[in-house]
Each structure stands twice: as structure tokens, then as C-alpha cells.
Amino acid sequence: MPAVTPPAAVGARPPRPLLLLSGLGGLCFVGLLLVLHQFDPAHSSFYPGCTFHQLTGLNCPGCGGLRATHQLLHGRVLTACHHNVLVVLGAPLVAAWAGHWLWRRWRGIPPKLRGPSTAWWWSLLGAMLAFSVLRNLPFPPFTGWSP
């Protein structure tokens, strides 16, 4: 009869390979932020361009996101809002979610069984679509927003 392993207890640390993989992913992310801090996307040609903008001339929800993140890393919140206000509003939410996830993993607390509701995802999609439409309107205050 095969041995049955009991489920992990609350407070038990996650397996070492998972912690190492999470740490490696975090280091890569910090490295990318350091590159973005040092090299302004507005003046560096090695960053990828937006295919949607190149094909249509319209701004997608992510257009200006790298420039906004660069400005946020330098503490220029208003300039970042000029590039992409969705990134400025979303960055603290993503940071809080990531911090909460890391804290739970570090403490060995199992992940929650429920993720965001379907209504939450539809609301996010609606906000992104509304933002896309608004930022492409040809009259103030939207005309000054950069692609």
C-alpha cells in the first residue's frame, strides 16, 4: 500500500524550489525596473513599440505605459499621468497585490481558493475600453496625451 503524505499544514513554508523560482522572478522584475529607471523609453530605441498604434495610429490602453513607469520611478507622478493614467492608478494596486501574495507565500498560508469575481474582470475590461476611447478623442483634455 503506497504511503499517503498529509496535506501541508498552515504555517509550513512552501517547497524550496518554488521559493527560489519566486525569488528569481522577483529579481528579474527588479532588474527590469532598474533598466527602465536608467534608460528613458522616450529616448531609447531598444524598447518595443506598440503594434496596434503602428497599424492604426490609435492609442491602446498600454500606450505610454513604459514612459509612465519611467516617470513614476523618478517620482514624477503628474508627468506619468500625462503618458498613461491607467498605469499610474494600477501600479499601487498591483504592488499591494504582489506584496500580499508574497507575504502569504512566505508565511506558508495557502492561496485563497477564490480569485477576483467575473464582475471584477468585466469591470476592468470596461474601464480599459473606456480609457482607450477617451484617450483617442480629438478634443481637450485628451489631445495632449502622448501615444
- Report which of 62, 66, 30, 76 is spatially closest to residue 46, judged by C-alpha positions: 66
Q: Is residue 48 part of a domain?
A: yes
Q: Is residue 6 part of a domain?
A: no
Contacts of 84 (CB under 8 A, 6+ apart): 62, 63, 64, 65, 67, 68
Q: Is residue 127 part of a domain?
A: yes
Q: Is residue 39 part of a domain?
A: yes
Three-state DSSP class for 59? coil
How many structural domains comprise the chain? 1
Domain that holds residue 121: 17-135
Q: Is residue 1 part of a domain?
A: no
In this predicted model, what pLDDT tens digit does every residue of 45-73 receive, in sequence order?
888 888 999 999 888 888 899 999 999 99
Q: Is residue 71 part of a domain?
A: yes
Q: State the DSSP string of 22-49.
A: HHHHHHHHHHHHHHHHHS-TTT-TTSPP
Q: Write out the three cell numbers for 35.
A: 533598466
The cell 509550513 sits on which residue?
12
State residue 100's pLDDT score.
85
Q: Is residue 103 part of a domain?
A: yes
State residue 115's pLDDT score.
72
Q: Determine phi and psi for 101, rounding to 5 degrees.
A: -60, -45
In this predicted model, what pLDDT tens digit does every residue of 77-127 receive, in sequence order?
999 998 999 999 999 988 888 888 878 877 878 767 667 789 989 999 999
Q: Is residue 2 part of a domain?
A: no
Task: Compute the mean pLDDT over every residue in the chain, rounded to the nearest whole number.
Answer: 83
